[in-house]
Structure formats: structure tokens, C-alpha cells
Amino acid sequence: MASETVNLGTELAAMRTEAPGPRSRALAQELALSEAPNASTISGGEIPVFWESTHGANIWDVDGNRYVDLTAGFCVAIAGHCNPRIVSAIQSQAGRMMHSQGGANPNALRVELTQRLTGLCPPGLSVAHIVSTGGEAIEMALKTVRLATGRQRVLAFQGGFHGKLLGALSVTSQNYYRTPFMGVITGTAHVPYAYCYRCPFAKSYPACDTFCADFVRYTLEMPDSAVSD
């Protein structure tokens, strides 16, 4: 396919109101009344910015503010929001078939996708398992690693969000998601992430002698650790 030049939203941020603006605040109040608790960060006391539209690297909120998305939509939009080639492919597929019954009635695209994915993998990784969400991917990863190693306990980083399914919730660290289920999400130890810019141990590299790595090693080896098996 010939290369195409696509305008993927190269405008800088432009603010018309404070963020979150009045419309976002009003919508947050409405959503808190109609959406189940812990479904969004509103349950944690935050007032999010409500998005109105996206294009390339740009986001517009409901108050008319324009942002530059440096997270790529939590890495979902790494090719740019509303990339016209992706939009076209989605529209084409939706007009032909929107749903097949998974493993019961696969389609030819499932074959092509698994072959292309495994073709990108290093030697030894020859099969793929297709899921719909990041939370499902974490669930499958946890199941796979436990089957492969025979171990049941897991090490995760503080501050990480991996989903709200029960297995994914066990490695997610935000308390307002975890607290209602603390009795059933066991077997995970959380350690500080190695972040030299704002070291959680208030140390400086290289004088710290990679203390964070020693802390992880200690957590793995201590007899009463959640991951010591």
C-alpha cells in the first residue's frame, strides 16, 4: 500500500475554561447518580474531564478546551484518535459482519489475526489468545503464568491499574477499587515502581545503589511475603 500523509491533529492545547470546566462538573454530578460506584474515578473523589471529540493527538472536552493526548488513550490510540484508515476499516467490517460467536463460530479474520500476531513474536511463542479488553488480557496472563510456573502468588507495582475484573483487581493498586473485595483478592504483593525522578524511597541514583531492586529482591525472598512461594 502506498504511504499516505494523514493530518492526525497537530494543534497545541488551548483552554477556554479551567479544567475540569463547568460542563464536565455538571456531567460528573449526573453520572455519580446513575452509574454504579467504582465504575469511574468519580467514586474516588475526582472530577474528570469529559471528552467531546478526538482527532489524532488532540482531544476536545465538553467545555471546548483542546488538549494534546500524551497517553495515546492509555495506548489504545497509538496510531492517533480517529485515524481515517482505522475508521474506514471499522466501517467496512461493521457493514459486513459485526459479530461472530468467538470460538464456537470463528471467522477467517481470526485466522489472519492470530497468524500475524504470532508472526511478530519471538521464537517459542507460537500461539495467541484473542480477548476484547485489557482486563481480560491480564486475567489470561495471570492464569497462564500460574499454570506455567505452578505458583499462585504475584508481584505487582504500586500505582498500577490493570483492570477491575477480579483477577486483574488483585494486581491493581488503587484502594477505592480494591477495598470492597479485600477478602477475596489475595496472593499479591505490591512494591514501589523504580522511578528515579521522584524516588519513592527519597534516594538519588547512582548513590542509592539501585535500592529499589534490592527491595524487590527482599520482598521476593522474605519468608512471610505474599510471593515467597
- pLDDT tens by residue, 21-48: 999 999 999 999 998 877 777 877 889 9
Out of 37-46, 175-184, 202-211, give the one with best mean pLDDT. 202-211
Model confidence band, residue 61 (pLDDT cutoffs 50, 70, 90) = very high
Q: What pLDDT does 157 receive? A: 94
* Nearest-10 Cα torsion for 142, 72, 216, 229: 0
Share above pLDDT 90 across residues of the chain, in percent, rounded to a whole number: 65
Q: What pLDDT does 1 receive? A: 44
Whether 223 shows a pLDDT value over 80: the answer reads: no
Mean pLDDT, to the nearest integer, of 8-29? Answer: 93
Whether 228 shows a pLDDT value over 60: the answer reads: no
pLDDT tens profile 151-178:
888 899 999 999 888 889 999 988 878 8
Domain boundaries in the chain?
1-97, 134-221
What is d(CA 48, CA 60) in angstroms, rounded to the nearest whole number?
Answer: 13
Q: What pLDDT does 2 receive? A: 47
The letter for the amino acid at 1 is M
Q: Which of 140, 141, 174 is nearest to 159 (CA)?
A: 174
Q: Which of 189, 196, 197 is nearest to 211 (CA)?
A: 196
Model confidence band, residue 108 (pLDDT cutoffs 50, 70, 90) = very high
The mean pLDDT of the chain is 89
Whether 135 shows a pLDDT value over 60: the answer reads: yes
How many CB atoms neighbour CB 169 within 10 A?
A: 24
Radius of gyration of the chain (CA): 22
What is the CATH topology of the domain spanning 1-97?
Aspartate Aminotransferase, domain 1 (3.90.1150)
Q: What pLDDT does 164 receive? A: 86
Whether 150 shows a pLDDT value over 70: the answer reads: yes
Whether 88 shows a pLDDT value over 50: the answer reads: yes
Q: What pLDDT does 16 receive? A: 97
